[in-house]
Chains A and B, each alone.
Chain A
Amino acid sequence: MEMLGANLDVLMARNSALAERLASWQGASAVIEKAKTGGATFRHEGRLFHSAYSPEKEAACQADEITSNKIKPDWVLLFGLGCGHLLKALLEKGFDRVLVYEPSTEIIVGVLASVDLSGPLASGSVALYNDLTAFISRIRELDGFDTLLSYSTLPYKLTFAQEFIDFNTRVNNAHTTNKVCIRTDIESRENWIENYFENVRHLPECPPIDSLRSAFKGVPMIIAGAGPSLQKNAHLLKEAKGKAIIIAAITAYKPLLKYGVVPDFVIASEKVDLPEYFTYGEDDLKTRLILAEVAHPGMFERKVKEKFVFFNPFVTLSRSQAPLWGSSYFPSTGGSVTTAAFDMAMMFGCDPVVLVGQDLCFGDSGTHVPGGVYIAQDVKIDRENGKVSIEEDYVTLKDKARSKFDLLWLKGLDGKPVPSKFDWVTFHQWFENYAAFLKSEGSPVRIINATEGGAYIEGMEHATLAEVIEKYVKNEVKLDAVIAGAVAKRAYPDLPAIAASINGMHKSLKKIGRIADATNREVSQLKKELGREGGTLEAGRKAAKVKRLEDELFKAAESSPFIWETLIASICELKEYLRRDADAGSKGIEKDIEAIQTAYGKLAKGCAKFSAVLMRAGASLKPSGCAHESRATEAAV
């Protein structure tokens, strides 16, 4: 047991949950045998897992196969630790970004009790997992730009065939969502920040959602998504009205109205305005909006009963500004408003928390429940090529909208795979991770998926909505009174501090813009010097100056991290260019210089654009006379 102890000591530093679980393992463990070379091997289910002659040579052959790939992977994901021969072989080749998932606890315990893996397990970025959900969480932390290579030896593939398919599907889903999230992030961040500054004028009237913290202890919450299955049980929500809090994703708002249900809250965070989701009638005035701070300013202008705001944890600007608005809550979110609502339910103290219309897959009638903004949908699933194409009539569009996605798969409620796409898969992963987290924390809150179709969510109880209502939805909730009481006690925003913060950011932004301009000028001159005969020496001086300016720019940006976030698109393009360059060989110094010029040119333009946005935001917080003066200054600028 000494060997196991030594291995677990090392494992503790990188995956303490696994180390603790293995230390208390009481089950069987694999019997390790000696190969002819003295190396370790074992049989599992009658099958040999490493060579009985030379497992080291065998592993070297496998490592060669992995590293001889034309495209060098940034990470190798091993399905199966075995006796660690392949891990060691990869480390010997200098490859230390290896994540290992071992599907069998029996094998992992047997191996760690007999083979010294303390060195390999402490090397580089090596990490070992025995819990697929934790492994997938780690994958979700990887850079979406990174290339992943999933590898398994034949004995593992044959012995754990179903687990291997599940592993690959989930890794693929996780990495696809990573890539898509980067794209979404890059595409959205500028809009989010711009929206936030435009929303500054509305926020003083919108209490932060954490004003309702612990206000609904033990009250059931039903979160309605707009999945196709909502039509099966939406009518039952009428029975729950007044006895449970009903919160609808904005896409589910109008469909619920068709079933005579006005949700207590509607949650939205879209960066674009969505006027078509509202009725502009009595129903709007009966519901409350929960809006993200980065939602489109138009959403803050909708006439509803009340508006609450929440701040996103993934926007540095929000994290730094939220306390000034009187909020200390940043919902954990998986990319959809229903995931944010789920976390809010926990913050409110609700129990049970129930999902409906959360299909997370394509249904027979399309992507959404009828009655919303999609008038007709034609979904074509091409299983052979792994694509889904959607043609739909949208309520505000004259022509049909067309979109195409990679086809991904999730486990359905009946255990059979259901067709899905990247965003739903992301939400699904989030729900499963959240459920696992609640379980690990020993949370007593019952979380129930009452969606009557679509994907199975591991870690949640599955029941029909009728069963949930019968069992849990019984007592009347005095919603208006509770909300009014909680809001009355809210912390009010510190407007002078917010104005000062915006002013400080404005100054930093102008400085960064100036440095970016100067960098670009130096880069242009560097390019000229390189083209001139005998210009190498001067080019060297210019390059050093560019480096100095870049350092200065990074330093200035450190004081305003939101700027880097906001203008990340230009930096990402440069990163992508450099990456392609590394893969395909340099395209020449001139091309490299052009890429740098483009990046810093965009950065300078972005700074100029946001300078005006910040001025407007600052002005909106000043008394009206000053605001007028400020607008005049802005016009002059």
Chain B
Amino acid sequence: MKMAQVYLDGTRLEFEDRENRSTIRELIDTIEKDLAGLRRFVMELWIDGEMMPEWRGSQVLSRPLSIYSDFKLKTASMEEVALEGLDLVQEYMKVTKENIDACVKDLRVGNGRADALMSSVFDGFIEIVKTVDALARGGEKYRMDLFRENPAQYFNPVIRGLEELREARDGRDSVASADILEYELKPLIDDMEENLFHFYA
């Protein structure tokens, strides 16, 4: 019977695929358990020469190992992962601020793109909060000092602002929507950028 070959950072591993019923998730879990002591994570997953984007939490993890020939896993240190997360959240903040500026302008002058831009702003804030929260919890777990102050203090004002924005949008109050974006939500991002980070990734 053909055995799937597993490589971790270029080194081949022996992995016992019991009765050919192990899943990719079991493979990753087993490896990450071993890596935990080394403060490392699996960052990239390649299956049969193809890199899997967005693989964490995807359906691909529930597939059996036996249907593929080879798996290549690349790891990164906890610090590298955190740095990448910080980079990502700062990128989200930058893009969300740009979207806010464009959305405010469109709302003020009455252009038709405002609705689409506002959806992007909502998505941007959700990603910012999710990523900052994940980083904060990861930092606590692995004892990494990722933020200068507790980021959770911003979550409620952001949620409140988004709720007000939703109400203004549903009431088709373009001026209130623009005010909330320009004078409430954007300053929150400015504050987070200024106060949360030790440095810019």
A and B pair up: yes
The reply on A58 being an interface residue by CB < 8 A is yes
CB pair A65 B109 closer than 8 Å: yes
Task: Please measure, in the bound complex, the distance between the C-alpha atom of A47 and the C-alpha atom of B176, giving whole angstroms.
Answer: 8
Contacts of B175 in A (CB 8 A): 41, 47-52, 58, 154-155
CB pair A51 B110 closer than 8 Å: no
Q: A47-B175, A154-B107, A154-B174 are in contact. List 17 more A-B contacts (CB 8 A).
A: A36-B183, A41-B175, A46-B171, A48-B176, A48-B179, A51-B175, A51-B179, A52-B176, A58-B175, A58-B178, A61-B105, A61-B109, A153-B109, A154-B110, A155-B174, A155-B175, A157-B110
Contacts of B178 in A (CB 8 A): 51, 58
Q: How distant is A533 from chain B, measured CB to nearest CB, in Å?
A: 54
The reply on B137 being an interface residue by CB < 8 A is no
Known interface pairs A58-B108, A62-B108. Does A52 touch B179 (Cβ–Cβ under 8 Å)?
yes
The reply on A158 being an interface residue by CB < 8 A is yes
Interchain residue pairs A-B with the least CB separation, the first 3: A154-B174, A48-B175, A65-B109
CB pair A53 B179 closer than 8 Å: yes
The reply on A118 being an interface residue by CB < 8 A is no
The reply on B182 being an interface residue by CB < 8 A is yes
Task: Please measure, in the bound complex, the distance between the C-alpha atom of A155 and the C-alpha atom of B173, giving whole angstroms.
Answer: 7
Contact size class for B? 10 to 19
Task: Please measure, in the bound complex, the distance between the C-alpha atom of A48 and the C-alpha atom of B174, giving whole angstroms.
Answer: 8
Give per-residue flags for B153-189: 1 if the beta carbon is below 8 A from chain A beta carbons, else 0: 0000000000000000001111110110011000000
Q: Name the residue in A46, A152, A154, A155 with the highest tally of chain B Cβ atoms < 10 Å from its Cβ.
A: A154
CB pair B182 A53 closer than 8 Å: yes
Give per-residue flags for A480-495: 1 if the beta carbon is below 8 A from chain B beta carbons, else 0: 0000000000000000
Contacts of A41 in B (CB 8 A): 175
Q: How distant is B74 from chain A, measured CB to nearest CB, in Å?
A: 48
CB pair A152 B179 closer than 8 Å: no
Task: Please measure, in the bound complex, the distance between the C-alpha atom of A127 and the C-alpha atom of B84, giving whole angstroms.
Answer: 59
Give per-residue flags for B81-107: 1 if the beta carbon is below 8 A from chain A beta carbons, else 0: 000000000000000000000000101
Task: Please measure, in the bound complex, the distance between the C-alpha atom of A231 and the C-alpha atom of B182, giving whole angstroms.
Answer: 62
Q: How distant is A31 from chain B, measured CB to nearest CB, in Å?
A: 16
Give per-residue flags for A140-159: 1 if the beta carbon is below 8 A from chain B beta carbons, else 0: 00000000000011110110
Task: Please measure, in the bound complex, the distance between the C-alpha atom of A512 and the C-alpha atom of B9, giving whole angstroms.
Answer: 96
Using a CB–CB cutoff of 8 Å, the interface residues on chain B facing chain A are 105, 107-110, 171-176, 178-179, 182-183
Task: Please measure, in the bound complex, the distance between the C-alpha atom of A52 and the C-alpha atom of B181, giving whole angstroms.
Answer: 12
A151: nearest residue on chain B (CB-CB)? B110
Contacts of A157 in B (CB 8 A): 110
Contacts of A153 in B (CB 8 A): 108-110
Contacts of B105 in A (CB 8 A): 61
Q: How distant is A350 from chain B, measured CB to nearest CB, in Å?
A: 49
CB pair A47 B179 closer than 8 Å: no
Contacts of A155 in B (CB 8 A): 173-175
Task: Please measure, in the bound complex, the distance between the C-alpha atom of A360 and the C-alpha atom of B176, giving whole angstroms.
Answer: 44
Contacts of A53 in B (CB 8 A): 179, 182-183
Tell me the count of chain A residues lying within 8 A, CB to CB, of chain B: 20
Contacts of B107 in A (CB 8 A): 154
Contacts of A65 in B (CB 8 A): 109
Task: Please measure, in the bound complex, the distance between the C-alpha atom of A155 and the C-alpha atom of B108, giving whole angstroms.
Answer: 9
Among candidates A36, A46, A61, A158, residue contacting B174 with C-beta atoms closer than 8 Å: A158
Known interface pairs A52-B179, A53-B179, A53-B183. Does A46 touch B109 (Cβ–Cβ under 8 Å)?
no
Contacts of B182 in A (CB 8 A): 51, 53
Q: How distant is B50 from chain A, measured CB to nearest CB, in Å?
A: 47
Contacts of B171 in A (CB 8 A): 46-47
Task: Please measure, in the bound complex, the distance between the C-alpha atom of A158 and the C-alpha atom of B174, giving whole angstroms.
Answer: 9
User: For chain A residues 56-70, which have a beta carbon within 8 Å of chain B?
Assistant: 58, 61-62, 65
Among candidates A36, A47, A50, A152, residue contacting B110 with C-beta atoms closer than 8 Å: A152
Q: What are 19 of the A-B contact pairs (CB < 8 Å)?
A: A47-B171, A47-B175, A48-B173, A48-B176, A48-B179, A49-B175, A50-B175, A51-B108, A52-B175, A52-B176, A53-B183, A58-B175, A62-B109, A65-B109, A153-B109, A154-B107, A154-B110, A155-B173, A155-B175
Task: Please measure, in the bound complex, the distance between the C-alpha atom of A417 and the C-alpha atom of B109, giving whole angstroms.
Answer: 29
Q: How distant is B183 from chain A, measured CB to nearest CB, in Å?
A: 5
Contacts of B176 in A (CB 8 A): 47-48, 52
Task: Please measure, in the bound complex, the distance between the C-alpha atom of A65 and the C-alpha atom of B183, giving whole angstroms.
Answer: 21
B173: nearest residue on chain A (CB-CB)? A47
Task: Please measure, in the bound complex, the distance between the C-alpha atom of A197 and the C-alpha atom of B171, giving whole angstroms.
Answer: 67
Q: How distant is A456 from chain B, measured CB to nearest CB, in Å?
A: 30
Q: How distant is A316 from chain B, measured CB to nearest CB, in Å?
A: 44
Q: How distant is B136 from chain A, measured CB to nearest CB, in Å?
A: 31
Contacts of B179 in A (CB 8 A): 48, 51-53
Task: Please measure, in the bound complex, the distance between the C-alpha atom of A4 and the C-alpha atom of B103, giving whole angstroms.
Answer: 36
Q: How distant is A113 from chain B, measured CB to nearest CB, in Å?
A: 21
Task: Please measure, in the bound complex, the distance between the C-alpha atom of A547 and the C-alpha atom of B12, giving whole angstroms.
Answer: 95
CB pair A158 B183 closer than 8 Å: no
B176: nearest residue on chain A (CB-CB)? A48
Task: Please measure, in the bound complex, the distance between the C-alpha atom of A259 and the C-alpha atom of B50, giving whole angstroms.
Answer: 86
Task: Please measure, in the bound complex, the distance between the C-alpha atom of A53 and the C-alpha atom of B175, giving whole angstroms.
Answer: 10
B105: nearest residue on chain A (CB-CB)? A61
Q: How distant is B185 from chain A, measured CB to nearest CB, in Å?
A: 13
A53: nearest residue on chain B (CB-CB)? B183
Contacts of A152 in B (CB 8 A): 110
Task: Please measure, in the bound complex, the distance between the C-alpha atom of A52 and the C-alpha atom of B182, giving whole angstroms.
Answer: 11
Q: How distant is A508 from chain B, measured CB to nearest CB, in Å?
A: 54
Q: Name the residue in B173, B174, B175 with the highest tally of chain A Cβ atoms < 10 Å from its Cβ.
A: B175
Task: Please measure, in the bound complex, the distance between the C-alpha atom of A61 and the C-alpha atom of B101, giving whole angstroms.
Answer: 12
Task: Please measure, in the bound complex, the distance between the C-alpha atom of A152 and the C-alpha atom of B109, giving whole angstroms.
Answer: 8
Among candidates A46, A58, A61, A62, residue contacting B173 with C-beta atoms closer than 8 Å: A46
A35: nearest residue on chain B (CB-CB)? B179
Task: Please measure, in the bound complex, the distance between the C-alpha atom of A46 and the C-alpha atom of B171, giving whole angstroms.
Answer: 8
B104: nearest residue on chain A (CB-CB)? A61
B168: nearest residue on chain A (CB-CB)? A48
Q: How distant is B9 from chain A, measured CB to nearest CB, in Å?
A: 53
A62: nearest residue on chain B (CB-CB)? B109
Task: Please measure, in the bound complex, the distance between the C-alpha atom of A41 and the C-alpha atom of B173, giving whole angstroms.
Answer: 14
B107: nearest residue on chain A (CB-CB)? A154
Task: Please measure, in the bound complex, the distance between the C-alpha atom of A18 and the C-alpha atom of B182, giving whole angstroms.
Answer: 37
Task: Please measure, in the bound complex, the distance between the C-alpha atom of A157 and the C-alpha atom of B108, giving whole angstroms.
Answer: 12
Q: Name the residue in B107, B179, B183 with the highest tally of chain A Cβ atoms < 10 Å from its Cβ.
A: B179
Contacts of A50 in B (CB 8 A): 175
Task: Please measure, in the bound complex, the distance between the C-alpha atom of A549 and the C-alpha atom of B1, giving whole angstroms.
Answer: 107
Task: Please measure, in the bound complex, the distance between the C-alpha atom of A359 and the C-alpha atom of B110, giving whole angstroms.
Answer: 37
Known interface pairs A51-B178, A53-B182. Does A158 touch B108 (Cβ–Cβ under 8 Å)?
no
CB pair A61 B108 closer than 8 Å: yes
Task: Please measure, in the bound complex, the distance between the C-alpha atom of A50 and the C-alpha atom of B107, giving whole angstroms.
Answer: 11
A36: nearest residue on chain B (CB-CB)? B183
Q: How distant is B28 from chain A, measured CB to nearest CB, in Å?
A: 50
A157: nearest residue on chain B (CB-CB)? B110
Q: How distant is A430 from chain B, measured CB to nearest CB, in Å?
A: 33
Task: Please measure, in the bound complex, the distance between the C-alpha atom of A630 and the C-alpha atom of B77, giving whole angstroms.
Answer: 112
A48: nearest residue on chain B (CB-CB)? B175
Q: How distant is A83 from chain B, measured CB to nearest CB, in Å?
A: 12
Task: Please measure, in the bound complex, the distance between the C-alpha atom of A58 and the C-alpha atom of B177, giving whole angstroms.
Answer: 13
Contacts of A158 in B (CB 8 A): 172, 174
Task: Please measure, in the bound complex, the distance between the C-alpha atom of A51 and the C-alpha atom of B107, giving whole angstroms.
Answer: 11
User: For chain A residues 282-340, which have a beta carbon within 8 Å of chain B?
Assistant: none
